[in-house]
Amino acid sequence: MNEFKSRQLTQMRFAIADFREGAIPFNVLLFKLEGAAHAVGREFWEQNVFDTSLVLEQINADVVEERRPLTLSEQAQVKGLISAQESRLTHAN
């Protein structure tokens, strides 16, 4: 793996950790994940991020549109999706 891709994957992991610690809001997490994934390239995006991102974006859209925090059900879903994303990032190395 090249150094640039490695740095982007690290940035994605840091964003996930920051979200879990409450340091960044949900929509910032999505922005950071998508930005880093797009920087790595379309193929990486499609193979490692797109499916998870699509569901996370839908949850975020609902939250933003309804101007409310994540429900307990959404929190559980987001937690599972982020864990799955983290696993994909680990295996993308």
Instruction: Annotate 79-93 with DSSP letters as a single string.
Output: HHHHHHHHHHHHHH-
pLDDT band at 5 (very low <50, low <70, confident <90, very high): confident
Residues 57-73: tens digit of each pLDDT: 999 999 999 999 999 99
Token representation of residue 76: 């559980």
Q: How far apart are CA 74 and CA 88, in angstroms?
A: 21
Residues 33-64: tens digit of each pLDDT: 988 888 888 888 888 888 898 999 999 999 99
Of 77, 42, 40, 73, the C-alpha closest to 57 is 77
Q: How far apart are CA 70 and CA 50, in angstroms?
A: 21
What's the pLDDT score for residue 93?
63
What pTM was estimated for this model as a whole?
Answer: 0.86
